[in-house]
Amino acid sequence: MSQQLGTLDDLPQDYRDDMTKAGVAPLWPMMRNVLPHGQPQPVTKTGHWKFDKLRPLLLRAGELTPVEKAERRVLVLSDPGRGTGAMQATSSIYLGMQLLLPGETAPAHVHTPSAVRIMVEGTGAYTVVDGERLPMEEGDLVLTPGGEWHDHGHDGDNPVIWLDALDLPLFVYLEGSYAKEGPLQAQRNRPDASQVEYLAAGLAPTRSRVSARKYPMMRYPWARTEPALRAMAAHGEVAELDYVNPETGADVLPTMGFTAMMLGSGDTDTPPLRSTSSAFHVIKGKGHSIINGHKIEWTNKDTFTAPVFSEITHHAEEDSFLIRVHDRPLQDRLGYYEERSR
Ligand code: GTQ
């Protein structure tokens, strides 16, 4: 039975003062703040960042702030529920839009949080992770897992822009976030694993257990994702593919998960309510999503978010491709991931 709990005002002032002096506080007036009934009460609010608004701001940052002064030239997408400057887009997901100009490098560092790059615009950029050079073409997903050295470079002729998704809020909350800097890495003279070892689904190189890599493939080329989605969509409605470790089939990172979705022109997708928060990035297409009654009209390269347990309906007005970022791997580890039907 739900009981009305006592409030602070029920307590005499001298008792409240004595508690404050002793460094304690009563639980019961705050109980429902931390343990609401039935489902969480998220602080996070749906956000929508239109790329045509972000792009000029990012290019201006390129004029105003040399990469040496920024280390990473990024505009942070702040959760509207927490306000501008919030270093998170949802409870667990950090998003930033990063610019690298031709010839620039972003210095090598390693940090405890994991990052994923979703390529938004331009060609010729690359990320080096543990000596492996990962080309970044539009739509590619590139992993820089926590604890792996990484730097970014750009051999092309035009600005490149990508979306960073990090599990940074979690690491900040845990007081576990820190970085180390180092020299640019030597690059192995060999194409990345997606081009050599994992060219076909279901086939992985025969290896000795001793040489097993924790992150065997760190680049997921869009050139292969889109045909896979189109083939699935041709035989069903909405197609959605998980990004997985090609050796184990497990999620690509310990805390964050990623899917690629295709909604054909005219398709509607009504996923179950999920205990995860999510971010959606439109690789290309046009449509709208209704998130808890809030309509978001999205187009190419836009990004939007949904808090935990959101009611979400997507509708595509043309063939549309989205990447969904979520925190189900973390929730699976904590043992509370949940879906509810609508
Ligand atoms: O590229 O390593 O958006 O360390 C935030 C922190 C990007 C990066 C961000 C980072 C990076």
The CB of 115 under 6 Å from ligand 1? The reply is: yes
Helical (H) or strand (E) element with 294: strand 294-299
Backbone φ and ψ of 185, nearest 5°: -85, 150
Residue 191: the pLDDT is 95
In a domain, 14, yes or no: no
Residue 210: the pLDDT is 65
What does the pLDDT look like over 69-111, one tens digit per residue? Answer: 998 999 999 999 999 999 999 999 999 999 999 999 999 999 9
The CB of 107 under 6 Å from ligand 1? The reply is: no
Torsion, Cα 52 281 109 218, to 10 degrees, reads -140
In a domain, 27, yes or no: no
What does the pLDDT look like over 267-321, one tens digit per residue? Answer: 999 999 999 999 999 999 999 999 999 999 999 999 999 999 999 999 999 999 9
Looking at the predicted structure, is the pLDDT value of residue 48 above 90?
yes
**What is the 323 CA–ligand 1 centroid distance (Å)?**
19
Residue 342: the pLDDT is 87
Evaluate whether 109 touches 80 at the Cβ level (below 8 Å): no
As for how many domains the chain has, the answer is 1
Evaluate whether 254 touches 169 at the Cβ level (below 8 Å): no
Q: Which atom of ligand 1 is nearest to the CA of 150?
A: 2
The CB of 93 under 6 Å from ligand 1? The reply is: no
Q: Positive or negative CA dihedral for 56, 60, 65, 66?
A: positive
Domain span at residue 175 reads: 48-340
Helical (H) or strand (E) element with 172: helix 168-173
Residue type (1 letter), 157: D
In a domain, 141, yes or no: yes
In a domain, 37, yes or no: no
**What is the 329 CA–ligand 1 centroid distance (Å)?**
21
Residue 138: the pLDDT is 98
Residue 130: which residues within 8 A CB-CB, separation 6 or more? 148, 149, 150, 185
In a domain, 283, yes or no: yes
What does the pLDDT look like over 163-193, one tens digit per residue? Answer: 999 999 999 999 999 999 999 899 999 999 9
Torsion, Cα 118 121 123 128, to 10 degrees, reads -30
Distance CA 131, CA 121 (A): 24
Looking at the predicted structure, is the pLDDT value of residue 113 above 70?
yes
Evaluate whether 238 touches 230 at the Cβ level (below 8 Å): no
Residue 291: the pLDDT is 98
In a domain, 291, yes or no: yes
The CB of 67 under 6 Å from ligand 1? The reply is: no
Looking at the predicted structure, is the pLDDT value of residue 230 above 80?
yes
Phi/psi class of residue 223: alpha, beta or left (left: φ > 0; alpha: ψ in -120 to 50)? alpha
Residue 250: the pLDDT is 97
Looking at the predicted structure, is the pLDDT value of residue 1 above 60?
no
In a domain, 332, yes or no: yes
Mean pLDDT computed over every residue of the chain: 96
Mean of pLDDT values over 212-225: 94
**What is the 10 CA–ligand 1 centroid distance (Å)?**
48
Of the pLDDT bands very low, low, confident and very high (cuts 50, 70, 90), residue 236 is confident
**What is the 141 CA–ligand 1 centroid distance (Å)?**
15
Residue 2: the pLDDT is 65
Between the alpha carbon of residue 233 and those of residues 176, 194, 281, the distances in Å are 41, 23, 19
Residue 3: the pLDDT is 75
Quote the percentage of the chain above a pLDDT of 70. 99
Looking at the predicted structure, is the pLDDT value of residue 143 above 60?
yes
* Residue 225, domain CATH: 2.60.120.10
Q: How far apart are the first and last CA of the chain?
A: 25
Instruction: Find where tokens 């073409």 sit.
Output: 137
Q: For the whole model, what pTM was predicted? A: 0.96
In a domain, 11, yes or no: no
Residue 237: the pLDDT is 72
What does the pLDDT look like over 23-38, one tens digit per residue? Answer: 999 999 999 999 999 9
In this structure, the residue with its CA closest to atom 11 of ligand 1 is 72
**What is the 182 CA–ligand 1 centroid distance (Å)?**
15
- 3-class SS at 153? strand
Evaluate whether 147 touches 44 at the Cβ level (below 8 Å): no
